[in-house]
Amino acid sequence: MEEARHFIGGAWCAPASGETLAALDPSTGQPFARLARGNAADIDAAVRCARAAYEGAWGTLSAAERGRLLFALAALVTRDAHTLAQREAQDTGKPLKQARADAAALARYFEFYAGAADKLHGETLPYQNGYTVLTIREPHGVTGHIVPWNYPMQIFGRSVGAALAAGNACVVKPAEDACVSLLHVAALAREAGLPPGALNIVTGFGHEAGAALAAHAGIDHISFTGSPQTGKLVAQLAAEHHVPVTLELGGKSPQIVFADADFDAALPVLVAAIVQNAGQTCSAGSRVLIERSAYAPLLDRLAGAFEQLRVGPSGADLDCGPLISEKQRRRVRDFLDEAQRDGIAVAARGRLDASAPDGGFYEVPTLLRDVPPQSRLAQEEVFGPVLAAMPFDDEAQALALANGTPYGLVAGVWTRDGARQMRMARRVRAGQVFVNNYGAGGGVELPFGGAPSGGARQSGHGREKGFEALYGFTVLKTIAIRHG
Ligand code: NAD
């Protein structure tokens, strides 16, 4: 990677404007690198290079050859996993062990989609006598990818890995708050032998480079992960040219714990699901709904676990790192201040470790009890290490609470009763349901996304991950042959 450069057409390019912006280390609040400040001209150059690759060296490869190149890229990610993890940890503030897991997931995404590239096929369809009808799956062409700052490597992997495997050429606009690891991945893509223009990365601000990408007439599909507000803007811009959009927006995911659950198994998972990445995870388990007869004892155990949590710089590798930015810390503080004004009780807080430098964007994990279901804290995504606990009396009330937000991304159900597991899994509104476990986003293989029914559309629509994502990066063509 070269400093303050985009990766366009297989080369490192200076920003058209000549302007740069600072990359900050959230653990210290200090700048550690310069990034190119992309604008519409950079995006246009990237889209043109992607189109040329799609119509040339990349688009004419066989599916098996594309798969081989993606396997090579996966191997290089694994080779450089330590460097990638260090960069991700410095850029996002997340503990090094989490960044290592993210690097491993990135390699796994490329492996999974490399293996799937030549297994994506259509069907033959029964039709009138004298015809043979078949469907084939074609790539969209040039796909745009707007990536957030919370999991740059993972979200890049799931979106770009699937798009490339399906045969698209990609233009990526990572988040201005965290994108350094992805520039390293661009260098690895070149080393792996991806033809110039198959993958392009333009860094910069959302309202500049991001908006230019979403509005570009040369883009054939946009996938966006981030806030519901920005997702709406992106969809509006894409609609100008009728460009299809996949939106992965956010959640207020419930963990529903019945009194018969295995608390020993549940406890560490309930804590990890909100503390991972300092709660800056769209699928964070940010609400814990507990059957009333078990509410007090489980809350006590949760409080004990929260009091043990330590927060510090990424390199200290504690339970929790800082938040991504001062803006995000203020957002989380606003939620906590409002909860305090509303008289919502704090059950426990974690501790700031002595190793945390002044100037870092730290916020300790907080467990709040008896959170009113209609409060802002129970309804809106905090995107910080804040867990809202509330009791329920029966299955019907648990479902009403679980489904009572504008989101529907992930849910956890904890019970030993098999019939209840199935009833709850069927009735809870979520794109993924975990029973007696919680995947915080789930595995590479598992389709993931919002369940936009009944007005709960704030989690977005479309599917990422698994084989299902490949379908989203293709267009089905029907060919009807009349042969008599
Ligand atoms: P955001 O939605 O503004 O940013 C996500 C991506 O969109 C970034 O790459 C950004 O540069 C880009 N972007 C911003 N404005 C754009 C525009 N006008 N056109 C095109 N692209 C644009 O998110 P944020 O401001 O970084 O965070 C705000 C809130 O979003 C967070 O507090 C959190 O609630 C939510 N969020 C959710 C996720 C998720 O995974 N679901 C990820 C990040 C943030």
pLDDT of residue 441 exceeding 60: no
Residue nearest ligand 1's atom 15 by CA: 206
Roughly what angle, to the nearest 10 degrees, separates helices 81-92 and 96-116?
Answer: 120
> Contact 138/54 with Cβ under 8 angstroms?
no
Ligand 1 contacts CB of residue 149 (under 6 A): yes
Ligand 1 contacts CB of residue 331 (under 6 A): yes
pTM of this prediction? 0.97
> Contact 321/94 with Cβ under 8 angstroms?
yes
| Cα 262 to averaged position of ligand 1 atoms, centre (Å) | 37
pLDDT, position 1? 46
Q: Please tell me the distance from the alpha carbon of residue 30 to that of residue 356, in angstroms, as a whole number.
A: 13
Q: Please give the torsion angle defined by the CA atoms of residues 342, 345, 348 and 353, in that order, rounded to the nearest 10 degrees.
A: 30
pLDDT of residue 355 exceeding 60: yes
> Is 248 in the active site?
yes
pLDDT tens-place string over residues 372-424: 999 999 999 999 999 999 999 999 999 999 999 999 999 999 999 999 999 99
Tell me which DSSP letter residue 344 carries.
Answer: P
Amino acid at the residue 118? D
pLDDT tens-place string over residues 294-351: 999 999 999 999 999 999 999 999 999 999 999 999 999 999 999 999 999 999 999 9
> Is 282 in the active site?
yes
| Cα 210 to averaged position of ligand 1 atoms, centre (Å) | 10
Closest CA to 262 of 412, 154, 439: 412
Instruction: List domains and CATH numbers for the chain.
Output: 2-249+464-479 (3.40.605.10), 254-444 (3.40.309.10)
Amino acid at the residue 418? G
pLDDT, averaged across the chain = 97
> Contact 190/161 with Cβ under 8 angstroms?
no
> Contact 330/371 with Cβ under 8 angstroms?
no
* Averaged pLDDT for residues 86-98: 98
pLDDT tens-place string over residues 123-164: 999 999 999 999 999 999 999 999 999 999 999 999 999 999
Alpha helices (H) in 309-349, listed in sequence order: 326-341
Give the tokens for residue 141: 């062409």
pLDDT tens-place string over residues 18-67: 999 999 999 999 999 999 999 999 999 999 999 999 999 999 999 999 99
Annotate 69-97 with DSSP letters as a single string: HHHHHHHHHHHTHHHHHHHHHHHH---HH
| Cα 161 to averaged position of ligand 1 atoms, centre (Å) | 21
Query: Whose structure tokens read 């329920």?
Result: 392
Ligand 1 contacts CB of residue 214 (under 6 A): yes
More confident: 452 or 214: 214
Q: Please tell me the distance from the alpha carbon of residue 140 to that of residue 89, in angstroms, as a whole number.
A: 34
| Cα 174 to averaged position of ligand 1 atoms, centre (Å) | 10
Q: Please tell me the distance from the alpha carbon of residue 41 to that of residue 172, in angstroms, as a whole number.
A: 15
3-state secondary structure of 255: strand
Nearest atom, ligand 1, residue 281 CA: 40
Which residue of the set 13, 282, 291, 381 is catalytic? 282
3-state secondary structure of 22: strand
> Contact 210/146 with Cβ under 8 angstroms?
yes
